């Protein structure tokens, strides 16, 4: 059985895509648990999303299914992270703060 360099590239691409997606899912879960996104910048998230969209387009135009699918998935997880940042920075109030506000 001979494996071509294109097949090796796709195997590496799928492996990297899975690892990258799992890493972002871990961050999403962590953010949900700690309910704090002050250490994550909007600039990073927006540029990350633009980069993911560009890599998704590159995967589509170069017919690389691993590049296309993995970056489409990480675009979705990045949108979730941006949504978490907007919510926790602007709308979320910890329960202890709500209790203190009711006493005033």
What tens digit of pLDDT does each residue of 21-76 get?
999 999 999 999 999 999 999 999 999 999 999 999 999 999 999 999 999 999 99
Burial 14-32 (b: 16+ CB within 10 A, else e): eeebeebbeebeebbeebe
pTM: 0.82
List, in order of start, the domains of the chain with CATH numbers. 5-94 (1.20.1280.290)
Q: What is the DSSP letter of 63?
A: T
CA distance 24 to 80: 10
């Amino acid at each position: 059985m001979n494996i071509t360099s294109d097949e090796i590239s796709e195997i590496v691409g799928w492996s990297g895509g899975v690892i990258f997606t799992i890493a972002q899912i871990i961050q999403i879960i962590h953010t949900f648990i700690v309910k704090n996104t002050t250490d994550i910048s909007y600039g990073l998230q927006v540029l990350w999303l633009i980069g993911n969209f560009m890599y998704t387009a590159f995967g589509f135009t170069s017919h690389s299914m691993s590049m296309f699918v993995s970056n489409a998935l990480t675009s979705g997880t990045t949108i979730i992270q941006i949504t978490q940042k907007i919510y926790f920075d602007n709308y979320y109030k910890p329960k202890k703060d709500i209790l203190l506000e009711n006493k005033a």
